Amino acid sequence: MRTYKGSIKTDVQGSEVEFEFEVEDNATQAEIEYEAKQAAFEHVEWNYAEVKGA
């Protein structure tokens, strides 16, 4: 296993969060990026709603 450190932030001052995630030794670049996104989304709370009449 290999361990990576990532970070996620918004345009809000002080919003940066660091995190770590692991991938198999033979993980492809696409697999590493996928796992990074999955780990980042564990720190994000978001929602959406349809805008009616727009």
CA distances from 30 to 1, 11, 40 (A): 16, 26, 15
Answer whether residue 53 is part of any domain: no
| Percent of all residues in the chain with a pLDDT value above 70, rounded to a whole number | 100
Domain with 36, as residue range(s), is 2-41
The position carrying tokens 């991938």 is 23
Cα–Cα nearest to 2, from 47, 28, 45: 28
Whole-number pLDDT of residue 24 = 98
The count of domains in the chain is: 1
Answer whether residue 25 is part of any domain: yes
pLDDT at 54 over 90: no
Contact 43, 8 (CB under 8 A): yes
Answer whether residue 33 is part of any domain: yes
Whole-number pLDDT of residue 1 = 98
* Mean pLDDT for the stretch of residues 5-23: 94
| Percent of all residues in the chain with a pLDDT value above 90, rounded to a whole number | 85
Answer whether residue 48 is part of any domain: no
| pLDDT tens-place string over residues 16-40 | 999 999 999 999 999 999 999 999 9
Backbone angles phi, psi at 42, to 5 degrees: -70, -15
Q: Give 37's contacts (C-beta < 8 A, 6+ positions apart).
A: none
